[in-house]
Amino acid sequence: MAKVVTFGEVMLRLSTPGYLRFSQARQFDATFGGGEANVAVSLANYGVDAQFVTRLPKNDIADMCVSELRGLGVGTDGIVYGGERIGIYYLETGAVARGSKVVYDRAHSAVSEIQPGMVDWHKVLQGADWFHWTGITPALSQGAADACLEAIKVANEMGVKVSCDLNYRKKLWKYGKSASEVMPSLVEGCDLILGNEEDAEKEFGIKPEGFDAEKTGGEIDQSRFESVCRQLMERFPRCKKVAVTLRGSINANHNTWGGVLYDGKTLWQSRRYDITHIVDRVGGGDSFMGGLLYGLLSYDTDQQAIEFAAAASALKHTIIGDYNRVSVAEVEALMNGGGSGRVSR
């Protein structure tokens, strides 16, 4: 069984019921989520040995979070404890022309105060095939960025492949450094990079010419993103593959979705999905990453890997919560032409 280790922040997610605005809500639905934890849950669903590493306080809310992760099959032995609080994010789900909103309450969270040396990375990464991180973690604090770099260097030394989801979050970079200053030294150690057009532009100044995500009308020429992939590989020579998620936004409930995977020679393009009634798009990119890692570990071709990633993340849009609670069989059914939504009896 393949082993994948992910590292980052998991948060308490408080979302308004249905499509209520924050100003209307008198209660919130509570669950947990976070980029790297979401990837670990996807992989555990697919039968991969998925281990999640973070730093959490010792309190009942953190215990509840760990219990949920374990119940979903995620290994938590690498979690370290300390600090005073778990981060929180509030979600208001948008509809039609009104986009969703996220409000963060994660300052001084336990993982934002992590420092190098707190995690025994040689122990955690023993026997691992992949180490995965996202651009969210180094955005939290200098300590989190340094701990992430420490993990990447150990993974490189141990021969563990490293993947990164660039995940640019402008609301998080508040400790005096920008993403363009911090991210290059971390991405230099990656074998696989995932991003979208905004991530690559905001962090490295790389973008497809003439593309505006707000003006796609749902129609995207996926082949135009080969230049983005090529530029990323030229900037980061260690990288063997680059993937780009491509979302066409018609409105908050109706998107088109797909992705590409580039290996330096060939641009593999997934089927594009017309998602007409989005239930919850939060975690969509993470479900793509989880699907891509599984696909690369399990299939013979890059085409199969990118198709699995796109199908998995298309299904995620139908599931409430950060976690993509789907099986390999369900994803493969959609890959192979399913998707009618008929009752399974």
**Number of compact structural domains in the chain:** 1
User: Does 103 reside within a domain?
Assistant: yes
| Dihedrals phi, psi of 53, to nearest 5 degrees | -115, 130
Q: How far out from the chain centre does Cα 324 lie?
A: 11
For the beta carbon of residue 212, count every other beta carbon within 10 angstroms.
8
Q: Rounded to an integer, what distance in angstroms lies between the CA atom of residue 42 and that of residue 4?
A: 11
User: Does 46 reside within a domain?
Assistant: yes
User: Does 97 reside within a domain?
Assistant: yes
Identify the bridge partners of residue 247 per DSSP, sorted by sequence position: 257
* pLDDT for the residue 45: 97
Q: How far out from the chain centre does Cα 263 lie?
A: 20
User: Does 54 reside within a domain?
Assistant: yes
Q: Rounded to an integer, what distance in angstroms lies between the CA atom of residue 39 and that of residue 7?
A: 10
CATH label of the domain that carries residue 201: 3.40.1190.20
The string over 235-273, giving b where at least 16 C-beta atoms fall within 10 Å of a residue's C-beta and e elsewhere, is bbeebebbbbbbbbbbebbebbbbbbbbeeeebbbbebb
What does DSSP assign to residue 127? Answer: T
User: Does 12 reside within a domain?
Assistant: yes
User: Does 309 reside within a domain?
Assistant: yes
Contact 84, 7 (CB under 8 A): no
Boundaries of domain holding 14: 3-333
User: Does 290 reside within a domain?
Assistant: yes
* Residue in 191, 199, 286, 302 annotated catalytic: 286
Indicate the helix (H) or strand (E) that contains 335: helix 328-335
For the beta carbon of residue 227, count every other beta carbon within 10 angstroms.
15
Q: What is the pLDDT along the chain (345 residues), one digit of tens a residue?
A: 899 999 999 999 999 999 999 999 999 999 999 999 999 999 999 999 999 999 999 999 999 999 999 999 999 999 999 999 999 999 999 999 999 999 999 999 999 999 999 999 999 999 999 999 999 999 999 999 999 999 999 999 999 999 999 999 988 999 999 999 999 999 999 999 999 878 889 899 888 765 555 555 556 677 778 989 999 999 999 999 999 999 988 999 999 999 999 999 999 999 999 999 999 999 999 999 999 999 999 999 999 999 999 999 999 999 999 999 999 999 999 998 866 555 455
286 labelled catalytic: yes
Q: Residue 69 corresponds to which tokens in the numbers above?
A: 């992760």
This prediction's pTM: 0.94
The string over 127-159, giving b where at least 16 C-beta atoms fall within 10 Å of a residue's C-beta and e elsewhere, is ebbbbbbbbbbbbbbebbbbbbbbbbebbbeee
Pairing between strand 267-269 and 273-275? unpaired
* pLDDT for the residue 274: 94
User: Does 344 reside within a domain?
Assistant: no
Q: Rounded to an integer, what distance in angstroms lies between the CA atom of residue 84 and that of residue 58?
A: 8
